[in-house]
Structure 1
Amino acid sequence: MKPELMSWEKCKAEHIRKVEVDTERINSILKMCSVRLRVVVEIKLDHETASIIAEDFYEIIKELLTATLLFAGFKSDNHECLIAFFKKIYPEKEYETEIMYELKRIRNKINYEGFFIDKSYIERNKLEFSHIIHFLEDVIKEKLKNNKK
């Protein structure tokens, strides 16, 4: 049985705190994610680099989710709550939520168990990761633009 994503309500009660919206930090996160994406797409995919590429895609998505949460005036001490927030504000993006949650579980296995994923996982999901990244970037850029008005 697949583990279930923590609810936003549980996250809010246990892992979320209110913060001031920091557009400077959000802009910095956007820039770092852009650089990291530029680097990750240049890595030659093979059976040894697939896990590194998965970690990098996770890091980009996690940071973009962090920026999204910051825009709402929240900060989380738990990565899973970033995904739970996404699920709450974009309930129609259930597929993307599942992809991110699966990537989080795989990244944890890589980081904590020395797990090597098959390169086919990246081949199958690279477009999905890119779609999620571009969606989040667009949302953040739009919020930044509207915030200046």
Structure 2
Amino acid sequence: MSGLCVGLAGVAWFSLSLQNFTLAWQHSVEKIRWEEDYHVTPAGLVLREARVRGNGAGMEIPDDAQLRDGTWHYHRRLPPLQPLRAGRTPEAVDYQLCADGRCQQLSYWLGPPKKDIAAVDLWACESASTIAPQMVLP
């Protein structure tokens, strides 16, 4: 079974045994929440859908997006991501990892973002519990 590994440069800092998750964050300037739904596959992380509650500087809504209940929903056609790199800085609100209706900031597992480690990678890994101690969302 595949799972999600989180770390940097191929070294897993923690892993989760899950097949689907949402990566969410707040735009650092516009303060608008973004969400991306991913499916974990052997080939990598497949982006299923993305959502954003508004637009602004550097936040153009794709032409094919649909507005539902105040949120723009859209699909991007990307090859599987292996890895997905997410920048983390002390100046911005941390990413949230959501699964099964529960969300937790990455700092729960990694500690707060640090200036000397500006990014984190997320990737599909063979058996999450054998790569690193298995973690579960609280």
TM-score, with structure 2 as normaliser: 0.22
| Larger helix fraction of residues | 1
| Larger strand fraction of residues | 2
